[in-house]
Amino acid sequence: MAIFLVYTASLVLILFVISYVFKLFTDTHRRLPPGPRPLPLIGNLLDIAGDLPHRSLARLARRHGPLMTVRLGTVVAVVASSPATAREILQTHNGSITGRVPPDAWRGAGHAAHSVFVLPPRRKWRALRRIGAEHLLSPRLLDNDGRRRLRPILRDAVLGVLDRVSDLASRGEPVEVGRVVFAAMVDMQWRAMFSARLDDGDDGAAASAHVLHDAAREAVAGSLKGNVSDFFPVLAALDVQGLRRRFARLVATVYRFIDEEIDRRMQRRRDAAGGGDGGAGGVNSGDLLDVLLDMSEREKGGGMVAMDRDVMRTFLADMFLATVDTIASTIEWAMAELLQNQESMTKLHEELTNVLGTSKTHVEFDDTVPPGRHQRNTAPPPVPLVPNVAEEAVEIHGHGVIPKGTTVLVNLWAVHRDAEAWPDQPERFLHGADRPLGAATTEFELIPFSAGRRVCLGLPLATRMLHAMVGSLMGRFVWTLPRDVVENGVDMTESLGLTMTMATPLQAIAKSV
Ligand code: HEM
């Protein structure tokens, strides 16, 4: 057994050295953008160790330029760190740089096979994006579709958070902002997708909702953790840090909850068909699950995508996981910034009083958009790095050539802190407030949702929820920091998962206005 292990390890090492040397050799013949000198085998991993990757990459970019090459183990990555180079990647050459390499943990958990986040930009990916955009995330559906299904769900999420905060405020207890909003987002997205509540009041349901909360939280927190397997794919089978196994366990829990909803709905459809009420139509809620089940029954997706159980489950998990963490952490960061900037908080209170008057108890999307103007873009960007892959060689004028297969990272964190584009002050993103976002982006200084073909699919939902939630929380309560936090300062350290969250969750004291 020991001999076998030594033999396998030596073989893996030899393969790894050969592939690395081959890569280095061929790279010298390519005109890659400049970058820090790599060490043998590990490349520049030491240059980025010891700090969060978006920060260390931003630091390296200050020395090596806004488009630089780094070697992360055997992976060659080109990093764009300025608005101008982000534009090159996400607009000028976007058609050639939209591939993805799925994280090893996702592949190991079986999630990568159908996930819209990592599918190559081909038919299945396009079809899934279209389904998400048309049946869950379109502005028309969110604002006022014929059945008026989603708007009340969004409003309830805001009102639910206000109730929870009121309750804590009346007891003088601090509010863990991120956690309260996270729970509301779980509930909101579950209702939007399944027309069902996870926690319908009884103790058993509440306990099982907690299991899902915890699994979702851990899955998003751990899903992009630095993994040796991603830097040295030849070692992936060993799963040295156990991240594959861990992510697989968490995703399996999320899948189990989703499967239960699918099974319940299918049973209801069968019952309705058996009862002779005209089949599925009689029980159709018109939610995302019904849309997907209709597709699976209609010639396997009506030609768009073969909607089998695996595709359906992965897609629902994607829509769920993408929502719960992004919105909650953005709101937590926004509140943390406001709580440390009394002047901005006072300004916001005044604005809210003007817009809402004294009778309205909460903010809705319509209140945040001046007539005839774009959605205001004031969210602090919580996704620091966007990973793409060049699907063909691309020459970036004045910087060099990105060879086919190269990982291309856009460092959104660095772009939003670009010293030339942004003054270093808390309200800096208000300067870009009226610029169009997402696919319509023209200015690459402000791209919290990225841009180009893989632009965030959830932008319409996120912008509605962020503004309504922060506006309502600020309009209804006066916020202060707990005494020990005032003394020690708010810990603004980031922790990197699917998004950037606060390493120390924000606690704040609310008092009803
Ligand atoms: C504050 C909230 C959010 C922010 C800042 C955000 C940001 C981003 C960013 C930067 C990307 C990467 C785009 C690229 O690869 O170029 C992304 C992708 C994505 N987002 Fe969001 N997001 C948010 C909320 C949401 C929500 C609520 C959903 C709802 C389902 C969602 C669904 C997705 C999906 C499916 C993708 C993958 C798109 C693809 O690869 O084709 N996001 N998001």
Token digits of residue 502: 């606060």
Q: Which atom of ligand 1 is nearest to the CA of 410?
A: 16
Q: What is the pLDDT of residue 204?
A: 74
Residues 405 and 483 placed together within one structural domain of the fold: yes
Q: Which atom of ligand 1 is nearest to the CA of 329?
A: 1
CB 402 within 8 A of CB 32: yes
Token digits of residue 120: 């190559």
Which residue's entry shows tokens 């309260």? 180
- Residue 461 in contact with ligand 1 by CB distance below 6 A: yes
Residues 2 and 119 placed together within one structural domain of the fold: no
DSSP state of 71: E
Residues 20 and 101 placed together within one structural domain of the fold: no
Task: Estimate the crossing angle of helix 177-194 against helix 203-222, to 10 degrees.
Answer: 110
Q: What is the pLDDT of residue 369?
A: 62
Q: Which atom of ligand 1 is nearest to the CA of 119?
A: 40
Q: What is the pLDDT of residue 286?
A: 86
- Residue 456 in contact with ligand 1 by CB distance below 6 A: yes
Residue-level pLDDT, tens digit, the chain, 513 residues: 555 545 555 555 555 555 555 555 555 446 899 999 999 999 999 999 878 999 999 999 999 999 999 999 999 999 999 999 999 999 999 999 999 999 999 999 999 999 999 999 999 999 999 999 999 998 888 887 655 789 899 999 999 999 999 999 999 999 999 999 999 999 999 999 999 998 766 777 778 888 999 999 888 887 777 889 999 999 999 999 999 999 999 999 999 999 999 999 999 999 888 775 544 555 678 899 999 999 998 865 455 678 999 999 999 999 999 999 999 999 999 999 999 998 889 888 888 888 777 777 788 777 766 555 444 444 567 899 999 999 999 999 999 999 999 999 999 999 998 888 876 665 666 655 566 655 556 678 889 999 999 999 999 999 999 999 999 999 999 999 999 999 999 999 999 887 899 999 999 999 998
DSSP state of 355: H
Residues 206 and 261 placed together within one structural domain of the fold: yes
At 171, give phi and psi (nearest 5°): -95, 0
Cβ-Cβ contacts under 8 Å for 292 (sequence gap 6 or more): 131, 307, 312, 315, 316
175 CA → ligand 1 middle, Å: 27
Residues 5 and 40 placed together within one structural domain of the fold: no
Cβ-Cβ contacts under 8 Å for 453 (sequence gap 6 or more): 94, 95, 98, 121
Token digits of residue 488: 């020690």
Instruction: Answer positive or negative: Cα dihedral of 133, 135, 137, 138.
Output: positive
Spatial separation of the C-alpha atoms in residues 214 and 212, rounded to whole Å: 5
Spatial separation of the C-alpha atoms in residues 440 and 418, rounded to whole Å: 21
Our mutation pick for probing the ligand 1 site, out of 153, 288, 326, counting the most ligand atoms within 8 A of Cβ, is: 326
CB 431 within 8 A of CB 443: no
* Residue 389 backbone zone (phi > 0: left; psi -120 to 50: alpha; other: beta): beta
- Residue 291 in contact with ligand 1 by CB distance below 6 A: no
Residues 397 and 266 placed together within one structural domain of the fold: yes
Residue nearest to atom 7 of ligand 1 (CA): 449
407 CA → ligand 1 middle, Å: 19
DSSP state of 401: E
- Residue 454 in contact with ligand 1 by CB distance below 6 A: yes
CB 400 within 8 A of CB 429: no
The reply, when asked if residue 456 is annotated as ligand binding, is yes
Residues 321 and 393 placed together within one structural domain of the fold: yes
Q: How far is CA 7 from CA 15, 20, 41, 236, 319, in A?
A: 12, 20, 20, 17, 44
Q: Which amino acid is at 282?
A: G
Q: How far is CA 325 from CA 6, 82, 174, 180, 383, in A?
A: 42, 26, 21, 11, 11
455 CA → ligand 1 middle, Å: 7
Q: What is the pLDDT of residue 28?
A: 45
Residues 110 and 163 placed together within one structural domain of the fold: yes
- Residue 116 in contact with ligand 1 by CB distance below 6 A: yes
Q: Could you give the count of Cα atoms lying within 13 Å of 366 in the half-sphere of its Cβ?
A: 7
Q: What is the pLDDT of residue 193?
A: 96
- Residue 326 in contact with ligand 1 by CB distance below 6 A: yes
- Residue 320 in contact with ligand 1 by CB distance below 6 A: no
3-state helix, strand, coil in the chain (%, to 5): 55, 10, 35
458 CA → ligand 1 middle, Å: 6
Residues 128 and 20 placed together within one structural domain of the fold: no
Question: Rg (Cα) of the chain, in Å, rounded?
Answer: 24
Spatial separation of the C-alpha atoms in residues 375 and 389, rounded to whole Å: 30
Residues 14 and 79 placed together within one structural domain of the fold: no
| Long-range contacts of 482-486, Cβ-Cβ distance < 8 Å, separation of 24 or more | 482/174, 482/507, 482/508, 482/509
**Secondary element (H or E) of residue 508:** strand 507-512
147 CA → ligand 1 middle, Å: 26
472 CA → ligand 1 middle, Å: 24
450 CA → ligand 1 middle, Å: 8
CATH of the domain at 192: 1.10.630.10
34 CA → ligand 1 middle, Å: 30
Residues 208 and 110 placed together within one structural domain of the fold: yes
Provide the domain limits for residue 53.
31-512
Specify which residues 496 forms β-bridges with.
500
Cβ-Cβ contacts under 8 Å for 73 (sequence gap 6 or more): 41, 42, 43, 45, 228, 230, 231, 232
Residues 3 and 90 placed together within one structural domain of the fold: no
- Residue 403 in contact with ligand 1 by CB distance below 6 A: no
pTM for the model? 0.90
Spatial separation of the C-alpha atoms in residues 142 and 284, rounded to whole Å: 19
Our mutation pick for probing the ligand 1 site, out of 456, 459, 461, 469, counting the most ligand atoms within 8 A of Cβ, is: 456
Residue nearest to atom 30 of ligand 1 (CA): 319
- Residue 335 in contact with ligand 1 by CB distance below 6 A: no
Q: Which atom of ligand 1 is nearest to the CA of 381?
A: 5
Q: Could you give the count of Cα atoms lying within 13 Å of 49 in the half-sphere of its Cβ?
A: 11
Number of domains in the chain: 2
426 CA → ligand 1 middle, Å: 24
